[in-house]
Amino acid sequence: MKLRERIPGLLRERSFRRYWTGQTVSLIGDEISLIAIPLAAVLVLGADAAEMGWLKVAGLLPTLLLSLPLGAWADRQARRRRAMIAADLARAALVLTLPLAYLLDALTLGQLYAIAFGVGALTVLFDVCNATLFVSLVETERYVQANSLLSGSRSMSWLAGPGIGGVLVQVLTAPFTLVADALTYLVSARQLASIKPVEPQPEPVTKGHFTAGLRW
């Protein structure tokens, strides 16, 4: 059997293949940052247990506070792919400030907290827009196959990402490992910019749109 015949049907389609590649690389980058940012706090700044706890809170807080309002905002946007590209570029820029601050001997815990919160907020924005982009790329009858491919990428990133991050920290030090994470965001942005899906029209603005979700 030829190699092409073994490739799942969706991956033969250029738009989905590019989307899936960007997602896969970005997921691995996320796992690298989960290793590198805490290690930068401990190894470079000597963070204690309480400070590490606050760093974790800073990264998770956007999911709690911003998922509903950003979801409501995304429902009213016609160009969600562009918002995802902007989120990728902004995440890359934020992460790159950490190795730069380290080079200048200006890295602080306050900066780590701010970057963790900012990256978390942009990740929420990316994710709420991503759901709609997925629908515009994949036909309904192929949702299972597409989700299987993305779930496989997610599982692979959970397995490979921490190991890759650990090796990079040993070779490059924790702050410079984050350059690799920033590059994954740039790859994701490039892949998204190379596809042109027909996005669904935004939802009409209705009174109580946000509060209905909050009540649910």
Give me the CATH number covering residue 118: 1.20.1250.20
Residue 158 lies in a domain: yes
Query: Which structural domain range is residue 36 located in?
Result: 13-194
Residue 170 lies in a domain: yes
Residue 213 lies in a domain: no
Planar angle of CA 122, 124, 127, nearest 5 degrees: 110
In the chain, the number of structural domains is 1
pLDDT for the residue numbered 1: 45
Residue 2 lies in a domain: no
Tens-place pLDDT, residues 53-90: 999 999 999 999 999 888 888 888 878 899 999 999 99
For residue 102, which of 165, 173, 185 has the smallest C-alpha distance? Answer: 173
Residue 214 makes CB contacts below 8 A (sequence gap 6+) with 68
User: Given a cut of 90, is residue 174 above it in pLDDT?
Assistant: no
pTM of the model: 0.87
